[in-house]
Amino acid sequence: MIQPFHIAIPVQNLEKCRTFYRDILECKEGRSDTHWVDFDFFGHQLVIHQKDDFVAQKISNPVDGHDVPVPHFGVVLTWEDWHKLAEKLKAANTKFVIEPGIRFQGKVGEQATMFFNDPENNALEFKAFKDISQLFAK
Please tell me what DSSP assigns to residue 57: -
Q: What is the CATH number of domain 61-134?
A: 3.10.180.10
**Over the chain (138 residues), what is each successive 10-residue block's mean pLDDT?**
93 96 96 97 97 86 87 96 97 95 91 96 95 88
Do the domains at 6-50 and 61-134 have one common CATH topology? Answer: yes
Q: What is the CATH number of domain 6-50?
A: 3.10.180.10
Residue 13: per-residue pLDDT: 95
Residue 118: per-residue pLDDT: 95
Euclidean distance between CA atoms 36 and 117, whole angstroms: 19
**Identity of the amino acid at 25:** L
Residue 55: per-residue pLDDT: 83
Pairing of strands 60-63, 66-69: antiparallel
Residue 66: per-residue pLDDT: 86
Domain boundaries, the chain: 6-50, 61-134
